[in-house]
Amino acid sequence: MKRMLFLLTGLLCTTVSVFLHAAIPPASTEDIISDIYRFLAETEETDYEELQETLLEMAAHPVNLNSATREDLAPLRFLSDEQIDRILLYAYRHPMDSLTELRLIPGLQDYEIRDLLPFVCVRPVKREEPVYWREMLRQTRHEVLAWTDVRYAEDPHRDHRHDPFYTRLRYKLDCHRLLQAGFTLQRPTGTDASGLQYGGYIQLNRIRHLHTLVLGNYQAQFGQGLVAAYPFHTGKAAYMQQADAPAEGLRKYTSTDGRGLHGIGGTLRFGQADVSVWYSLTRENDSLRRHTAGANITFRHKNFKAGITAAENIWSDTLRYHYEHAAYNQHYFRGTRQFTGGANFRWRRGITHLFGEAATAQNKRQWGWGVLAGIQVNATADADLTLLYRYYSPDFDNPRGYAFSETSRANDENGLYIGADIRSLPRWRFSVYGDVFRFAAVKYGIPYAPSWGYDTRADILWHANDTHQTMLRLRARMKGGKSSYTARWQWDCRTGGWRLRSEADASLATDSLPGVTCGFSVFIEAEYTFRNAPLSVQGRLQSFNVQEWDNRIYLYEKDVLYGWSVPAVYGKGNRLLLNLRWQIIPQLTVYLRLSETVYSRSWAERRGIPDTRTDVHLLLRTVL
């Protein structure tokens, strides 16, 4: 460990002497995805694999701005709703000849155009021609991923026969996004061949009236997510830019975590109307099965969209929970059959954008209600204001819903969210939100009722020039009588083949019993991309001292492709992280991630955990 620290320190010191005015290369797709993660990451529970999958597909098949729709650009979470509308309006009125025309669109900053370039292109719009399968198959793209993770820790209390290896094999087929198919095999850590998990999908897109057909693993998102939604959360920060829900509809689900749907679904498009139906049979555990049947009808007319969604869930046995008698889950759904239904809308007029959804869910002999409504006002081309209100009654509980909420479950909550994103000053960006919420019943970690809380955050971003930027983030939260305050300072510099980053985080938590606790984390990071070789190396050296779990600090860490890591920094010690990306040949790329965490021995002994933990992630990617 000491030798590795010495080598990394030498590397970081060397970067200080680089020529700071060297030309900066265009940002890579993976760098842009990492930047999106750093902005959105608020907890370690969010799975960004599906978002990364979508963005990499967009990079492989850039969207033609001259024929793009809102649905095509919605996955670009760094663009606001107003920015997307301005791009579409400009391309409709003035078909673009070059991407340099993006600078003529009001409200687009230079750094946003830089991030947009890998995902879009400009081509003349051609009339639709019949699809020839022979030509489509000739353009087929194959991708094979072999992934291995190893975690090793000297733990005297753990059985050393425990298998520390996690393995995963994945195959993808993409026929110019008209036909997509794939399957995944994985074996979690500590399991044998009987614990093998697998999943696959087939998706057809835009073939005459058949807009989408999915088989196997897929996901459904309609409205604001009160009835049917992807198992994906971007956090409250994303609503400062895109207040509406992510791209709607049925689409494949590449993960095998069991949170998606499994069966068949399809969407037929007739002019301005879409009709979607789906059926799913999934396994909750070894003895519990869930049947899901759902339907949605969506109508669009100019700037107005409205839809109705209904779903029926049938379990093979009564749905129960691990902590069945805990007070916080007494309002959760229990039973063998549940119906959920709702209506949603979205309407834009001038600078105003209205959206919302109202839904009901059967819970025992009662019907719970959930309402989410919001308005986004684009005061100027560079300023957005968002107001969002939600009310979920105590009896409203949908295990398949993932709507905007303070907790991970849209149940028993009444709250108001206000966010603003201001880019009026050159090279400056101010983003702030405030959220106030109230719970009528007991919630997890809050032993009394009723209770209330708030969550506020402010980001100040300064782009000194095209190569340097600095960000200050302040956040204050209170829930259940516990308050926490965090501050983050971040510096980022790109010059030549180098990218240097430094970050300092501080956390302060107050509680009526243990009093005030604090924590901090500091790291310095350097990444170098060789100009004459397809090789990229990144190193991070981090030191942290976080006293209690309430002081935990979430930090995004770069991982192998399709990997994501937002660990909660907790404890006292140092951490070393190394990432390597080597494209051996155009068809084969190797990703390697090494990390080692060394905790203070006294701190580790008091908590009965090992003082050293090592993780190795290896990914081989083949694209044909």
2-16 confidence digits (pLDDT tens): 444 444 444 444 333
Question: Which tokens go with 330?
Answer: 């007494």
> What type of residue sits at position 209?
H
CB 414, CB 370: distance < 8 Å: no
pLDDT at 22 over 90: no
Radius of gyration of the chain (CA): 25
Distance CA 187, CA 204 (A): 29
Whole-angstrom Cα distance, residue 186 to residue 193?
10
For the residues 522-541, what does the mean pLDDT come to?
A: 93
Find all residues with CB under 8 Å of 434, minimum gap 6, and list them. Answer: 417, 418, 419, 454, 455, 456
Q: Are 225 and 388 in contact (CB under 8 A)?
A: no
Strand partners, 507: 486, 519
Closest CA to 431 of 404, 407, 451, 460: 460
Q: What angle do CA 597, 602, 607 make, to 5 degrees?
A: 80
Q: What is the pTM of this model?
A: 0.86
Mapped onto helix, strand or coil, the DSSP state of residue 180 is strand
User: What are the domain boundaries of the chain?
Assistant: 1-24+147-154+467-624, 28-129
Q: Name the CATH topology of 28-129.
A: DNA polymerase; domain 1 (1.10.150)
- pLDDT tier for residue 136 given thresholds of 50, 70 and 90: low
Tens digit of pLDDT for each residue in 570-621? 999 999 999 999 999 989 999 999 999 999 988 888 888 888 989 999 999 9
122 neighbors 64 (Cβ within 8 angstroms):
yes
Q: Which residue has the higher pLDDT, 129 or 455?
A: 455
Q: Which residue has the tokens 């300072």?
A: 489
Where does residue 45 rank: exposed (0-12), middle (13-18), buried (19+ CB within 10 A)? exposed
Average pLDDT, the chain: 84
Which range among 302-311, 423-432, 467-476 shows the weakest confidence by mean pLDDT?
423-432
CB neighbour list of residue 325: distance below 8 Å, 6 or more residues apart: none
d(CA 390, CA 402): 13
Tell how strand 140-153 and strand 165-175 pair up: antiparallel
CA 506/CA 587 separation, integer angstroms: 43
When pLDDT is averaged across residues 406-430 and rounded to a whole number, the result is 89
Going by the DSSP 8-state scheme, the letter that residue 104 receives in this structure is: G
**Paired tokens of 317:** 């046995």
Evaluate the omega torsion of the peptide bond into residue 426 and state whether it is cis, within 30 degrees of 0. no
Distance CA 476, CA 434 (A): 9
For the chain, what's the residue count? 624
Q: How far apart are CA 244 and CA 220, in angstroms?
A: 16
Grouping H, G, I as helix, E, B as strand and the rest as coil, residue 217 is strand
